Structure 1
Amino acid sequence: MSAATAVDKGQTGILHRYSDGLVAFEYASGTNPRSKPHSLLFIGGLGDGFFTVRFVADLVVALESTSWSFFSVLLSSSYAGWGLGSLGKDIEEIAKCVQYVRNYKQPQQGELSEVGKVVIMGHSTGSQDVLHYLYSPNPLPRNPQSDSCLQHLLRPVVDGAILQAPVSDREGLRVVLQSGTATDSPAVLAGIYTQLVDIAKRTCSDGGSVDVLLPLSLTSRLGYPADTAISCRRFLSLVSPDSPEHPSEDDLFSSDLTDDRLQETFGMVASRGLLRSKLLVLYSGRDQFAPEWVDKASLLQRWKNATDNNSKEQVWDAKYSGVISEASHSLIGDEEEEPRRDLVARVMAYFRNVEKCS
């Protein structure tokens, strides 16, 4: 039975409430998961939730006979909640889950037990969450522009971090605007985009603490789900209309960002001290959300240079990071068994190195 089929037929596990209204699902099949010292926390992308990313099943199967547990983490921004969310709120919720999992595993570890490791892995926009977790000030600063929902928590250190399919939302939308859709020409879409940016900027410039929703009749024309509400603040963060000169919070992976901007994000990972081992980055070779003009290998090299530039020790995992050949964004195709094997092999090898880190 394939990994995907196993999940299609149901999956046993434990549903954990790691904070008020927030849960994580720990996959378990036969083995007591609390006997496994190490934990992988998986954060999906826009619209994701439980069982929505196919290769998760492959990772779960690969981890069954190891000392690692797999947690699928739901945030308040999961499923259709992303349109009202923010990276700042996401990483505070991830911090709560990291602390919960450490506490959950700790009672099973005696003096001679192996110290448990916690790795956070982001898929797609989940990668933005992971990078934001690692490079942002800890705790997040208080300022008039900050999300009113933030609690300014101190985020715990993690033992490993993985970015998978870290593509740019801004550049993905740019492709739509240039090519048009089945119902709208590029010229019509440009007008809709300009109208939405104008509404969002005028609303946010008022400085109010209450966010405002954009018209679904307009956001859906740009390709966003017709049933997903998007706030002015999140829209501006995702489309980042003033980039590359003034990139938004969500604009972390665009190919036209300056080296100075990369130093403010990737370049801060080492100095923040929130990552004990190395950063693993896996880009899909046939990612349908990455524009054709993006040179994936060159982009990864720029990220690597920024990550390791100010570090005494190499932070970027140069051995296992790279482009997964023939992989789509979520590796969902039946013909993508080999790319999924490649992804799983790199992740498993990365885990072995994480286990060695003190």
Structure 2
Amino acid sequence: MTPSSASAASSSSSWFSGIVRGRSVKTPAGSGSGSISNPSAASEGFPGSRKNQMRGVLFKYGPKSVQVAFKTGDFNQQVIFIGGLTDGLLATEYLEPLSISLEKERWSLVQPLLSSSYIGYGTSSLQQDSFELDQLIGYLINKENSEGVVLLGHSTGCQDIVHYMRTSFACSRAVRGVILQSPVSDREYRATLPETASMIDLAATMIKEGKELELMPKEANPDAPITAYRYHSLCAYMGDDDMFSSDLSEDQLRLRLGHLSNTPCQIIFSMADEYVPEYVDKKALVDRLCRAMGGAEKVEIEYGNHALSNRVGEAVQAIVDFVKREGPKGWDDPWH
């Protein structure tokens, strides 16, 4: 951020309030935000913090009890982290050092809990996640005078972001950039498991019988209860979650991802991702994904695992570099 844009960020009225203040973001009476802090200590080379501890504010952004978010930094521009299946707060090891690096650039890091967080993913959907993400951004605009956000997705959180950016939700216009970290195919990974084929058939049958919201047998997904719809979405060819599979054609990828061509995008791909089957040519896949998104920036992390826990420094550097370049640059910029 330049000094002039930082000054604009401190203005008392949000550039987006004209649209959103007509839409209510309901919050239960008496709810508010609470401060969570940690003792100061030096660890992992980051002064003032202990590993996997962060100082910030916990706040409610919607009416459901699960709809809380944790924010580090107190700035008018935010990076929103959307985790993958089973993820919640502090989902990846790069989040703590990322929050410190973002604060130096006058950006806040926001980690929301959605209805799909932890074991809730099996009974939720991309549409539900998108609705709650819109509520969160609306809160940041109305309560924090946000001047725009960058969405950072990890794993299946990338699907949430792609879906959200396709919606007509008003707050999607506040998104100034998109980062997809480890956008991989749940379908291709699950196809390596022996029970998947028969369970896809069962899910398809249940959906045809109008039972899409009923639960699948436990053996379909031992980690969490899962509906026939969400199982089919994650595991079936061209299911709603099937966005990054290597066997999709160029036209199919453009159909799924092409709407992102109007938004600055970055793909951070782990070249040793354990959730990508060995037969997949990772370099070719990430090139195809970038083309389908209209020329997204490509960052290949050699030897990086799925969560980049073994390449934390490279992950943080790539994210911060992108945010500094593509974030809000002025009061009127989001409209042009």
Under a length normalisation based on structure 1, what TM-score does the superposition of the two structures give? 0.74
Q: CA deviation at 1:2?
A: 1.4
| Number of the residue aligned with 1:123 | 154
Q: CA deviation at 1:8?
A: 4.3
Q: CA deviation at 1:286?
A: 1.1
Q: Give 3-state SS (helix, strand or coil) of 1:76's partner.
A: coil
Q: CA deviation at 1:304?
A: 2.0
1:98 touches 1:156 (CA, 8 Å); kept in 2? Answer: no
Q: Give 3-state SS (helix, strand or coil) of 1:75's partner.
A: coil
Amino acid at match of 1:10: Q
In 2, Cα distance between equivalents of 1:133 and 1:351: 19
Structure 1 unaligned spans of 5+: 107-114, 140-152, 178-188, 309-314
Q: Give 3-state SS (helix, strand or coil) of 1:53's partner.
A: coil
- Tell me whether 1:214 sits opposite 2:210 in the alignment: no
Q: CA deviation at 1:341?
A: 1.4
Alignment of 1:258-269 (within 5 A): 258-269=249-260
Pair 160,197 (structure 1): closer, same or farther in 2 beyond 3 Å: same
Deviation per CA, 1:11-61: give whole Å up to 9, x if none.
321111111121110024xxxx1xx22101101000000123111112112
Pair 27,170 (structure 1): closer, same or farther in 2 beyond 3 Å: same
Structure 2 unaligned spans of 5+: 1-42
- Tell me whether 1:13 sits opposite 2:56 in the alignment: yes
1:15 touches 1:26 (CA, 8 Å); kept in 2? Answer: yes
- Tell me whether 1:52 sits opposite 2:94 in the alignment: no
Q: CA deviation at 1:266?
A: 1.6
- Tell me whether 1:202 sits opposite 2:245 in the alignment: no
2:180 touches 2:267 (CA, 8 Å); kept in 1? Answer: yes
Pair 324,18 (structure 1): closer, same or farther in 2 beyond 3 Å: same
In 1, Cα distance between equivalents of 2:104 and 2:172: 30
Amino acid at match of 2:168: N
Amino acid at match of 1:303: L
Query: Out of 144, 149, 164, which is 1:133 matched to?
Result: 164
In 1, Cα distance between equivalents of 2:248 and 2:197: 22
Equivalent pairs, count:
285
Pair 91,279 (structure 1): closer, same or farther in 2 beyond 3 Å: same
In 2, Cα distance between equivalents of 1:257 and 1:198: 20
Q: CA deviation at 1:3?
A: 6.8
Amino acid at match of 1:207: G
| Number of the residue aligned with 1:289 | 275
In 1, Cα distance between equivalents of 2:240 and 2:57: 34
Q: CA deviation at 1:63?
A: 1.7
In 2, Cα distance between equivalents of 1:211 and 1:297: 37
Q: CA deviation at 1:100?
A: 1.0
Alignment of 1:1-358 (within 5 A): 1-2=43-44, 6=49, 8=51, 10-21=53-64, 22-28=67-73, 33=74, 36-106=75-145, 116-134=147-165, 136-139=166-169, 155-175=172-192, 177=193, 189=194, 192-207=195-210, 211-216=213-218, 218-220=219-221, 224-225=222-223, 228-240=224-236, 243=237, 247-270=238-261, 275=263, 278-308=264-294, 316-317=296-297, 321-332=298-309, 336=310, 339-355=311-327, 357=329, 358=333
Amino acid at match of 2:101: A
Deviation per CA, 1:265-309: give whole Å up to 9, x if none.
221223xx5x3xx1011011111101112222211211222222x
1:17 touches 1:24 (CA, 8 Å); kept in 2? Answer: yes
Pair 236,61 (structure 1): closer, same or farther in 2 beyond 3 Å: same
In 1, Cα distance between equivalents of 2:167 and 2:249: 21
Amino acid at match of 1:131: V
2:80 touches 2:112 (CA, 8 Å); kept in 1? Answer: yes
In 2, Cα distance between equivalents of 1:96 and 1:3: 36
Q: CA deviation at 1:117?
A: 2.8
Aligned Cα root-mean-square deviation (Å): 2.2
Under a length normalisation based on structure 2, what TM-score does the superposition of the two structures give? 0.79
Pair 173,156 (structure 1): closer, same or farther in 2 beyond 3 Å: same
2:254 touches 2:292 (CA, 8 Å); kept in 1? Answer: yes
| Number of the residue aligned with 2:23 | none
Amino acid at match of 2:244: F
Runs in 1 of length 4+ with deviation above 6 angstroms?
none
Q: Give 3-state SS (helix, strand or coil) of 1:71's partner.
A: strand
- Identical aligned pairs, as a percentage? 31
Amino acid at match of 1:58: P
In 2, Cα distance between equivalents of 1:27 and 1:303: 31
